[in-house]
């Protein structure tokens, strides 16, 4: 059996992380290397899906839950406006293969660092 992802370890309290939102299926944490004033990761509690393509095919309802959580985070922290990014593969900067969405907000003049 494989080791739990860093996200699961944060959710389980094994390593520190600031959980901003939690539902029965997803949770959201601040990114430790933010690329925008608001940079939050929204993550399914299940490690079943490695990337957004697998998630969309396997559980579209869970994908909708991720998007709804992203909107909620943006409503609370970014005036309801946000950019939602999924990295899908190592060559495009996916480093943790437990599907997650990057929620970016409060961007100045539409400038992003690192994207």
Contact 26, 16 (CB under 8 A): no
Alpha helices in 31-109 (DSSP H): 52-58, 60-77
User: Among this protein's residues, is 98 annotated catalytic?
Assistant: no
Q: Which long-range contacts (CB under 8 A, 24 or more apart) does 88-93 make?
A: 88/51, 88/52, 88/53, 89/51
- Give dist(CA 71, CA 66) in Å, integer: 9
SS3 103: strand
Catalytic residue among 39, 98, 100, 102: 100
Point out the residues that are catalytic.
100
């Amino acid at each position: 059996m494989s080791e739990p992802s860093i996200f699961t370890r944060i959710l389980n309290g094994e390593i520190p992380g600031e959980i901003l939102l939690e539902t029965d299926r997803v949770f959201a944490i601040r990114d430790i290397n933010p690329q925008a004033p608001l940079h939050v990761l929204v993550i399914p509690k299940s490690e079943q899906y490695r990337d957004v393509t697998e998630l969309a095919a396997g559980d579209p309802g869970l994908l909708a839950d991720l998007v709804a959580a992203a909107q909620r985070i943006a409503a609370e922290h970014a005036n309801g406006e946000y950019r939602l990014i999924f990295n899908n593969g190592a060559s495009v900067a996916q480093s943790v293969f437990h599907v997650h969405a990057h929620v970016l907000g409060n961007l100045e003049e539409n400038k992003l660092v690192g994207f």
